[in-house]
Amino acid sequence: MTMEEATAHDDRRATPRGRYLDGRIKSLILDLTAPRAGERLLDIGCGGGEHLCLFRRKGCDVTGIDPSPFMLDLARQRLEHRVDLHQGRAEDLLFSDNEFDIVTLITSLEFMDDPGRAVAEAIRVCRGRVFIGVMNRYSAIGAQGRLMNLFNSPIDKKARHFHLASLTAMIRSQLQGVRIQWGSVIFLPWGWYGFGAGMEERIPVMNNPFGAFLGLSFSVTFSFRTIQEVIREPAPLSAEGRRPVPGVVREAKHGS
């Protein structure tokens, strides 16, 4: 994305219709992620940092990763010193296991070379919950060919579109039996948003698969291996081995 394209994207989002649609999407994101102040959050494919700002306002400690130096520069300008930014690929994250409370992929999975690998990496670095937000293949706007206009980026023409079944299958291939919460927003035909926003508000959001923006969240249980799992057989101790470590008994007596 060039500077002109990024500016045009921001201008379209600043229109009354753009603000309304943007607000609907962000409301669903917050409902499904439930961020709390002090939590560590990683946004994979963070782009210009729009969603990092959203979570930063909720008090999260935010980190972003994106392959584009240009987009990272935009994010840096937007958040200044209040963000930790890295250049890199979603399929090979440079972070440790279980490092973040929340991990998000928001309209970024569509552009990745290996989406399944990106989801696996998101799960690996998470110790809390993962959120995935995508452009929905099955939506009124998508059926009209207007889904790209909603997300306002020329590179969207290269995007793959997901649907609920493909995403849940991708997640459960990594975490069998995991409970997934999901919902969607933006249900009406594109041209209706000049006058039909009230109708949008009456449509249930959760467990509705037909909105243009589809969001899913699921928990990742922190796990670790104990030394007992590695050493299955007790090691024989010699008489020398049974002797206490020098100083331990004395220190215990002094503390009693």
Name the average pLDDT for the chain: 81
- Give the integer Cα–Cα distance in Å for 99 and 86: 15
Identify the CATH assignment for 3-255 out of 3.40.50.300, 3.40.50.150, 3.30.70.20, 3.40.50.2300.
3.40.50.150
pLDDT reading at 161 higher than 90: no
Query: What local confidence, expressed as pLDDT, does residue 97 receive?
Result: 97
pLDDT in tens, 104-131: 999 999 999 999 999 999 999 999 999 9
* CA-based end-to-end distance of the chain: 68
Q: What is the three-class DSSP state of 183?
A: strand
- Give the integer Cα–Cα distance in Å for 150 and 154: 11
Helix axes 164-172, 115-124, angle to 10 degrees: 50
Laid out side by side, the sheet with 180-185 consists of 84-87, 61-66, 40-44, 100-106, 126-135, 213-219, 180-185
209 is written with which tokens? Answer: 């698969």
pLDDT > 90: what percent of the chain?
A: 59
Surface-to-core class of residue 78, CB atoms within 10 Å of its CB (0-12 exposed, 13-18 middle, 19+ buried): middle
Query: What local confidence, expressed as pLDDT, does residue 170 receive?
Result: 96
- Give the integer Cα–Cα distance in Å for 229 and 250: 32
Query: What local confidence, expressed as pLDDT, does residue 15 receive?
Result: 78
User: Comparing C-alpha atoms, which of 119, 95, 59, 100 is closest to residue 222?
Assistant: 100
Q: Per the confidence metrics, is the pTM higher than 0.85?
A: no
Instruction: Find the helix or strand (DSSP H, E) in which 49 lies.
Output: none
Backbone angles phi, psi at 46, to 5 degrees: -70, -15
Amino acid identity for residue 157 in this structure = K
Three-class DSSP labels, 212-244 = CEEEEEEECCCCCCCHHHHCCCCCCCCCCCCCC
Domain limits, the chain: 3-255
pLDDT reading at 60 higher than 70: yes
Q: Return the bridge partners of 180, or none.
A: 218
251 is written with which tokens? Answer: 């220190």
